[in-house]
Amino acid sequence: MKGEGDCLFKPCLLEEGQAVAALREILDWFVVPFPKGARVGVKVHWGERGNRSHLPPFFTREIVRWLKGGGFEPFVFDTTVLYSGGRRKGEEALETARRHGFSPGALGCPVTVADGLDGLAVVDIPAGWRHFPTVQVADVFSAGGFVVLSHFKGHMAAGFGGAIKNLSMGFASRAQKQRMHADARPFLNRGACTRCGLCVRVCPSGAAVMEGEDYPSFDDGLCIGCAQCIGLCPEAALRIFWETDNGVFQEKLVETAAAVWRLMEGKAVFINALLRVTAECDCLPGENPVIAPDRGLLGGYHPVAVDRESLRIVGEEVFEGAHPGLSWRRQFTYASEIGFLPR
């Protein structure tokens, strides 16, 4: 293997021919860290149902082809989510994957929901930092290696989302996702609200209610902090109110990623796609505004190194502009404090 902090950047646009060529160069650059013949998990995000900004399936298909060519046994996976939509239950998630072109037939390998169709295929793994003694994640670590493919983009709570977030929220069980989101609550700007009721319809916990013609209200006791109402409000009338502060969320995100990393260090590679960089993540349906030009693909061996380099290439100001006030830099300072850094 090369140094854990090494990265390779290949410029390209989001056009299949040149994007696949750039991806192939990165894949061929990797010193493959998987044991001979291993089952290798390809972690992807196939997008919320109806989302149109997620990475197209041709990236995953090429990774699968590369793994098979190397004699490995690939499988593609993601996990279920907290909110209603098309990925809360395992069967729904697989149907969403199929609709977005991530079916076994299209990709050439099994496609799975790693926390199980019932959400119970999870395991508690040691953490031991400030927030979590253990974290609960999908039980996927019998795999001999991992390729983690992340769409690098903005995020309403994390500021940006890349490899760290994909290891963290992306591997977390629904309970662990909830533990990370626990401090987030919706805050209503009545001046912008049209009382359309969408926030009530999408709330998975019954916390958002509307009585008659009144404005929506939100029950803190029932709210699980999933932020779905905030992300889907058509008038941007809701924003996140942090019961502690956003830095705590960033720390929880990093702790979960660091715990997952300890189980895959030395047998994982990371690819960030700095393409169609949107303001929000692919967990929202529909089109999201693009906030930066296409840059290309970045490969590496450590999630913190890959995300740091992705931010440098895309430009920190892009995320400061899209999500002012979020303390996303805490991801890096906290990663350093807990020793979650390339060797």
Residues that bind ligand SF4 (CB under 6 A): 186, 188, 193-199, 202-203, 205, 207-208, 216, 218, 223-229, 233, 235, 237-238
For residue 23, how many other CB atoms are within 10 A of its CB?
23
Question: Could you tell me the CA-to-CA distances from 194 to 93, 186, 240 in Å, in that order?
Answer: 31, 16, 18
Q: How far is the CB of 283 from ligand SF4 (least distance, A)?
A: 12
Nearer CB in complex with ligand SF4: 183/282 = 183
Nearer CB in complex with ligand SF4: 74/216 = 216
- Round to whole Å and give the CA distance between 331 and 283: 21
* CB-count burial class (<10 Å; 0-12, 13-18, 19+) for 103: middle
Q: How far is the CB of 243 from ligand SF4 (least distance, A)?
A: 12
Nearer CB in complex with ligand SF4: 235/287 = 235
- Round to whole Å and give the CA distance between 97 and 294: 24
Nearer CB in complex with ligand SF4: 167/224 = 224
In 145-251 the beta strands, taken as DSSP E runs, fall at 145-151, 153-155, 159-161, 184-188, 208-209, 217-218, 238-242
Q: How far is the CB of 186 from ligand SF4 (least distance, A)?
A: 5
For residue 50, how many other CB atoms are within 10 A of its CB?
14
Give the CA radius of gyration of the chain.
19
Q: How far is the CB of 182 from ligand SF4 (least distance, A)?
A: 11
Nearer CB in complex with ligand SF4: 264/283 = 283
- Round to whole Å and give the CA distance between 231 and 248: 20
Q: How far is the CB of 176 from ligand SF4 (least distance, A)?
A: 16
